[in-house]
Amino acid sequence: MGVMSALHTQPACLAFANEKDDTGAANIGYATVFPTAMVAKILLAQVILGW
Q: How many domains would you assign to the chain?
A: 1
Note the pTM of the prediction, 2 decimals. Answer: 0.78
For residue range 18-48, list pLDDT tens digits in order. Answer: 999 889 999 999 999 999 999 999 999 999 9
Predicted local distance difference test score (pLDDT) of residue 5? 93
Predicted local distance difference test score (pLDDT) of residue 45? 95
User: Containing domain of residue 43, as a range?
Assistant: 2-50
CA dihedral 27, 32, 33, 34 (to 10 degrees): 70
Q: Is the dihedral of CA 30, 32, 37, 39 positive or negative?
A: positive
Predicted local distance difference test score (pLDDT) of residue 34? 95
CB 41, CB 16: distance < 8 Å: no
